Structure 1
Amino acid sequence: MDAIIKQSKTMDHGTINLTDVDMLHKVFRGFRSHDGFGYVFRGHAQATWDLLPKAGRAEFYLPDNRDLGRFHDWNRYAIAYASPSSSYLDQLALAQHHGLATRMLDWSMNPLVACYFACADHADKDGTVWMYEMGGDGFLTDQITREMLAEKRGVFGYRPKAAFPRIINQKGLFTVHCDAANVIDVKESLVGNGYPNLIRLHIPANLKADVVNLLADYGIDRAHLFPDLDGLSAHINTATSRMRKLGEEK
């Protein structure tokens, strides 16, 4: 394990290169969530994707907190489809959950969930699992208002109420980027072990299928992560494709 972790000292953010599926167990024994107060995990199906919330990316970025104005417009109409929470951040999480470009970025306390998102799509591209020690700038609470959020600067952690089935099954939580284009500040781990607070687990494309098969054995699949009819349909479609591929290989 020491030989693996030492690789994480070679860059501003750490990098660990996955060489086989069994190595996942060693990595995740070294970097744990502790209910969101240690390292948390996010999967990217393409290693080249930026670690930014959608509202911070060029095609959606609105400076001077105008992304909160976009959310305000969304929220005015969303009341027709859902009962709003009394918490401003939970309302923002609901918008994020339904695809609005917000300043929130999804993470999971379960590293296997992140592995699924890193490996289930773009089979021909290398993937990444980001491991981030959350809370460097602190955690936000339910008492945060729009005005208070607009005054914040930095990247904060937020643990939403377990209001949506996806949040529960994915063991989800968020970073909140203020402003939306603010990147995570890479620094030494809070526990002072000499390792950075942000580490990239690089997953080669040729290992993705093996990772997905391993996760299926552990019950991590699209039907579990998206507990609705869309998730069930996607899961059945994926299972059908896998069976056809296995039949062609025999």
Structure 2
Amino acid sequence: MSEQYDRLLELLRQQGLTLEQAKDRVAEHAALLSLARPNEGITFDSTVRDLLQAEERQIEIRKAAEPESVDCDSADEFIDVLSPRHPRFWHSSSEAWVFRGQANADWPILPSALRSTALLPDGTQGHWSKTAPSQFTNDGQVRRELMALRDFYWRADRIGLSIPGDTVEVRQLMADDQCLKRLRDADGAFQWPAQALVPLMALAQHHGLATRLLDWTRRSYVAAYFPATEAAKWHCESQAGVATKATHLVVWAFKFKRSLDGLGRIWESLLEGDMPKGEIIEHSVPAAGNRNLHAQEGLFLTESKLLLSGRKTVTIVPFEDQIKRHVAGYSTMKERHSIRFRLPIAEAPKLLMGLHRIGVDAASVFPAGDGITKALHERAWWPK
């Protein structure tokens, strides 16, 4: 038993406790269990054994929550490891891998509306600006996003653009100057993004509007295309003397536990009176009304979150940290559920050309005349 006790003390010390604090915690826990269960024959040794098992289980969970890192040296290797036929991407019916690419591996994963570069209304006579979200309260930031969404909605309606999810409820909400008040519950909290507005938000985001949604795709090569085209342009510009600080592009893979389980846990927590924490929700959007979404096999993920009204400022948590919390919330998860694939920026032109040769380019992910022209222009960034 002394070996188990020493191992437990070591694990507790790794959490920042001193040796004496670790010993006190174990002794206190053993005493409390003995008082709570006097007829169960609980001993100090059995308490140590149970505590050690619990700590080791938490280590496994925390390890599974950390992303696996896969660094590739060449574009060919990158395409191989992202192949949908790779054994790592097999999944059960309740889980599925989803992917997201970014041209700079050092960028945090943030929805466009929460970036400092987001162009949104600032509330002064229709003026828009790039004011950092951290300068606003939750109410103020959501109000900016709602104002932008309302402007997009009525402009789209005016020119006859088909708007998915265009119900009477959405139309009334978009016509109300005080629509934020209508989203609040009796306690002044509100769910954001509001589910009724997600189809509209998805359409607006695919046409360049900053929203709270995060684009993901079920196709790994589509996820690789977006950083490839941006990073290839950067590489060509750097060769021409334009400096860029990025060294690697990245594709994130996330083994997403599908929403039925997650929503069930949220429902249970709501019945118990607790706010859901760390849950990631997939927002279902009809692909039939969004050609880009259909072509890209896209989906949208957000953190399920109740925002409190008042003066509380916007809290910006990178989505990769939300993934860690989400994975750690499932005590049965013991294998990695997120992977970070990196490739040097210098390989981006080869990656862009390689993806084109397997049928993934601007013409396939943006199926319209503009996408065809963009695909042709991208050949300027292919390796010479």
Q: TM-score range by the shorter chain?
A: 0.7 to 0.9
Cα RMSD for the two superposed structures? 3.2
Structure 1, unaligned runs of 5 or more: 1-8, 141-150
More helix by share: 2
1:171 matched to 2:171: no
Structure 2, unaligned runs of 5 or more: 1-62, 119-132, 166-195, 236-245, 264-274, 308-313
Q: Take 2:286 and 2:381, find their aligned partners in 1: how far apart are those partners?
A: 36
Asked if structure 2 preserves the Cα contact closer than 8 Å seen for 1:188 and 1:195, the reply is no
3-state SS of paired residue (1:51): coil
Q: Take 2:217 and 2:358, find their aligned partners in 1: how far apart are those partners?
A: 16
Identify which of 249, 254, 259 aligns with 1:127: 249
Q: Take 1:185 and 1:234, find their aligned partners in 2: how far apart are those partners?
A: 33
Residues 133 and 190 of structure 1, relative CA distance in 2, 3 Å threshold: farther
3-state SS of paired residue (1:211): helix
Q: Take 1:16 and 1:219, find their aligned partners in 2: how far apart are those partners?
A: 24
1:17 matched to 2:71: yes
Alignment of 1:1-250 (within 5 A): 12-20=66-74, 21-22=76-77, 24-28=79-83, 29=86, 30-31=88-89, 37-60=95-118, 61=133, 63-64=138-139, 65-70=142-147, 71-81=149-159, 82-86=161-165, 88-123=197-232, 124=235, 125=246, 126-135=248-257, 154-162=279-287, 163-177=289-303, 178=305, 181-182=316-317, 183=319, 184-186=322-324, 187-188=327-328, 192=332, 194-240=334-380, 242=382, 246=384
Residues 228 and 36 of structure 1, relative CA distance in 2, 3 Å threshold: farther
3-state SS of paired residue (2:116): coil
Residues 11 and 56 of structure 1, relative CA distance in 2, 3 Å threshold: same
**Residue 176 (structure 1) shift:** 2.4
3-state SS of paired residue (1:25): helix
Asked if structure 2 preserves the Cα contact closer than 8 Å seen for 1:128 and 1:202, the reply is yes
Q: Take 2:302 and 2:222, find their aligned partners in 1: how far apart are those partners?
A: 20
Q: Take 1:204 and 1:32, find their aligned partners in 2: how far apart are those partners?
A: 27
Residues 131 and 36 of structure 1, relative CA distance in 2, 3 Å threshold: farther
3-state SS of paired residue (2:280): strand
Residues 34 and 103 of structure 1, relative CA distance in 2, 3 Å threshold: farther
The structure with the larger Rg is 2
Q: How many residues align?
A: 226
Amino acid across the alignment from 1:204: P
How does the TM-score come out when normalised to structure 2?
0.51
3-state SS of paired residue (2:323): coil
Deviations 1:132-173 (A, max 9, x none): 223477678xxxxxxxxxx98643112321122211111111
Deviations 1:39-59 (A, max 9, x none): 100110111222010112234
Q: Take 1:241 and 1:204, find their aligned partners in 2: how far apart are those partners?
A: 15
**Residue 92 (structure 1) shift:** 1.2
Asked if structure 1 preserves the Cα contact closer than 8 Å seen for 2:64 and 2:328, the reply is no
**Residue 201 (structure 1) shift:** 0.9
Which has the higher mean CA deviation after the structures are superposed, 122-131 or 60-69?
60-69
**Residue 36 (structure 1) shift:** 9.5
**Residue 96 (structure 1) shift:** 1.0
3-state SS of paired residue (1:121): helix
